[in-house]
Structures are given as structure tokens and as C-alpha cells.
Structure 1
Amino acid sequence: MTQNRTLHLLNGQSMYDYFKRTHFLDGELLIPFNEAMCYGDTNDDIFSPQFSQVRAKVHHVTLEQYTEITLKPLKLFLDKNFTHLSLWFDVDMFCQINVLTILGWLDQTDYKGEIELHIVGDKYELMDHLSLKAEGYYSIYKKVLIRKEMPKHILPAFLKSGIELYLNYLSQNSELIRYINKFKNLSEEMLVSKLIVEFTHYGLGDRQYLEMLNRVGRSKI
């Protein structure tokens, strides 16, 4: 392991590109987490070959493409080639389910180090910061993402909020599905744009919303 090596794990390519473009954390080691764990099936052996096969299918890409896009940038993380780990994520559902997956893997692989979690806003400005340990998160991951059940005790509070949104957002009575049905006469492009603006607390993008429109049986207009 490299001495005094801080690894900054960012939620996605957009945040990574922004930090690089603005020279934020200049000289530091930054890598993106290119996943959307709040959508689609998963596997209880996080980042295993079986996990990768399931997630590649969710994203409609080959296993090779998934490896190149998601796993290859995570190599230093998966090899635990760091002495300090720093996470940078938003409070929205999208980001928090990604956080849960990362903490779940660290717990699954018995990582005992301190983790710095930085919470950023819509424009990537720092909003909050806390330290935590990856203890108990693997069981939460399995309960939430595999069994779709709400755990009794979840910290921090914004992770709990993200999980609550995740467990409800694809149900027939969720605010997202009701909104889609209310504006079902709009074009897909316009409806997706409205969803992104109206429901920022979910953090979903156009790809996830298009999948949702197909899932609820809404034909293209």
C-alpha cells in the first residue's frame, strides 16, 4: 500500500470532469464511481463477476463495456491502494444508494479504516462533512437493494432519506409515477425534462426516466 495516499471517490463522471476542470483538489488522486445503483437489479456479492454481469444487463452494455466504464476507473479503490478514503456525493437518492453500495462493499471486505464523507450541493459546493466507519452497511445493502426492505436503524440521516425514496419511487403510488400519469400526453422529451427539474431530490437522469416511462407502459408520442 502506498504511504499517505488519499483516494477521492466521486459520484460519477460529471463530478470528476468538473473537479478536474476547476482544479478542485488539484494534485489529489480522483476517481469517478460511474454507476446508478438506484436503478435495476443487483447482486449481493458487490463488484463480483456475477454483480458485473447483472449490472451490465441493467445498463444494456456488454460485460467488457461495463468493465471499461465502471470497474476500470475503480481499480485503485477495489485494490484498496490508499491509506485514506474520501467520498464526495450529493444528498439525493441517486447518490445515496451509490454511497450505500460503496460502504456495503467496504464492510463486506472488512475495511476498518476511517472514511471521510463530503456532501456536496447541486453545483458541487461542499455542504457537509462527516467521518464514519464501514460497519453494518453490508447488511443494510442486502436488506435494501436485494430484499427491498427498510432497515430499522440507518445513519447518517440523509442516507436514510435516500433509502426511503429508493424503496418507494417505482411503486404505482409514488409521486414520480403519479406525475408521469398526470402528464402522459406530453412528449417523452418534455416530460423527462419536467421530471428532472421537478424532482431533484431523486437525482435521476434522462436515461433512468426513459426507462421508467417504458416500465409504466407509456408509449412514445
Structure 2
Amino acid sequence: MTQNKTLHILNGQAMFNYYEETHFLEQECMVPFNEAMCFGGTSDDLFSPEFIDIRANVHHVTPEQYTEHTLKPLQPFFDKEFSHIELWFDADMFCQINLITILAWLDQADYKDAVDIHIVGEKFKPVSDFTERAGGYYSIYKQVLIDKTMPVNILPAPIKKGIELYLSYLSKDSDLVLYIQEHKDVPERELVLALINKFTDYGLGDTQYLEIIRNQRKTV
């Protein structure tokens, strides 16, 4: 492990690009986590061939494309080329489920040191910080993303809220699903924009919303 080197993991390419353009964290090692773990299935064997196959299928890409887009940027993370980790994630559900996935991998890799977590807001500016240890997060990942159950542990507030939203957002009586059903005559693209603007706590993008709309309209 490289001594005295901090690795900054950012929630996605947009944040990575913005930080590069604005010279934020300049001279630091930054990598994006290009995923949407709150959407679609997953595997309890993180970043394994099975995981890659499942997630590639969710995103409608080949395993090779998934590896290039999502795993290749994370190589310093997998190679443990760092002595300290800082995570930069929004407070919404999308980002918090991604955050749990990163912490779960660190737990599985037996990473013992404290991790600094920055919650960001508008224009990716940090609004709050907390420190966590990864221990226990692999179990939380399995409970939440595999078993779809709420952990008993009291978690930091943003993570807890993200889990609560994740476990309910596709249920038939969720505010999101009901809104889609109530607007069944609205064109897809128009409805996607409305959902992005209305349901900011979910943090979902147009790709996920389009798929949710189509799935809902199929079942009606």
C-alpha cells in the first residue's frame, strides 16, 4: 500500500469532470464510481465476474463495456494504492446506495482505517462530513441490496435515509410509482423531466426513470 496517499472516490463521472474543470482537489488522486447501484439486481460477490454480468445486463451493455466504464477507473481502489480514503457523495438515495457498495467492498477487503465521507450539495460543494469505518458494511450491503431488508444498526442519517428510500421507491404505493400512474397520458420524455425535478431525494437519472416508466406502463 502506498504511504501517505489519499484516494478520493467520487459519485460518478459528472462530479469527476466538474472537480477537474474547477481544479478542486487538484494534485489529488480522484476516481469516479460510475454506477447506479440503487437500480437493478446485484451480486453478493462484489465486482466479481457474476457481479459484472448482472450489472452489465442492468445497464444494457456488454461485460467488457461495463468493465471499461465502471471498473477500469476504480483500478487504484482495487489495487489499494492508498493510505487514506475520502468519499464524495450526494445525500440522495442514488448516491447513498453507491456509497454503501464502496464501503462494503472495503469491509470485504478488510480495510481497517477510518474513511472520511463528504456529503455534497449544489454544484458538488461539500455541505457536511462524517467519518466511518467500513466494518459491518458488507453485511449491510447484503441486507439492503440482496435481501431488501432494513438493517437494525443505527446508521449515519444520510445513509439511513438512502436505505429507507431504496427499500420503498418501487413499491406499488410509493409516491414515485403513484405519480407515474397518475400521469399515464404524459409522454415519456416529458414525464422523465417532471420526475427528475420533483423527486430530487431519489437522485435517479433519465435512464432509470425511463425504464421505470416503461415497466409501470407495461403492468397497467
TM-score bracket, normalised by the shorter chain, equals: over 0.9
| Deviation of the 1:60 alpha carbon | 0.5
- The separation in 1 between residues aligned to 2:133 and 2:163, in whole angstroms, is 19
RMSD: 1.0
Match of 1:162 in 2: 162
Q: Residue in 2 aligned with 1:111? A: 111
Query: 1: distance between equivalents of 2:61 and 2:128?
Result: 35
Once residues 5 and 151 of structure 1 are traced to their aligned partners in structure 2, the CA distance between those partners, rounded to angstroms, is 33
Q: Distance in 1 between matches of 2:216 and 2:169?
A: 12
CA contact (8 A) 1:184 1:218 kept: no
User: 3-state DSSP class of the match of 1:123?
Assistant: helix
Structure 2 unaligned runs (5+)?
none
Q: CA deviation at 1:154?
A: 3.4
Q: C-alpha offsets along residues 89-144 of structure 1, whole Å, 9 cap, x if unaligned?
A: 00000000000101111111211011010000032111001111001111110011
Percentage of identical aligned residues: 59
- Report the equivalent of 1:174: 174
SS at match of 2:124: coil
Q: Which amino acid counterpart does residue 179 of structure 2 have in structure 1? A: Y
CA distance in 2 between partners of 1:161 and 1:56 (Å): 27
2-structure distance, mates of 1:26, 1:101: 26
Determine if contact 1:11/1:95 at 8 Å carries over to the other structure: yes
Alignment pair present for 1:31 and 2:31: yes
Amino acid at match of 1:134: A
Name the SS for the 2:122 alignment partner: coil
Q: Contact 1:90–1:122 at 8 Å: present in 2 too?
A: no
Which amino acid is 2:84 matched to?
Answer: H
Are the equivalent residues in 1 in contact too, given 2:184–2:217 (CA < 8 A)?
no
What is the CA–CA distance in structure 2 between the aligned matches of 1:102 and 1:56, rounded to whole Å?
18
Hey, what's the Cα distance between the residues in 1 that align with 2:166 and 2:122? 19
| Distance (Å, rounded) in 1 between the aligned partners of 2:207 and 2:147 | 24
Q: Distance in 2 between matches of 1:75 and 1:154?
A: 32
- 1:156-186 Cα deviation digits (max 9, x unpaired): 1110100000000011111100000111111
Whether 2:74 is the aligned partner of 1:74: answer yes
Residue correspondences, number: 219
1:218 CA drift (Å): 4.7
Task: After superposition, give the CA deviation of every residue in 1:18-54 in whole Å (9 maximum; x if it has no partner).
Answer: 0000010111111100000000000001111111111
After TM superposition, the score normalised by the length of structure 2 is 0.97
1:93 aligns with 2:111: no
Contact 1:148 1:167 in 2 (8 A): yes
Quote the residue 1:143 is aligned against: 143
Contact conserved, 2:10 with 2:32, CA < 8 A, in 1?
A: yes
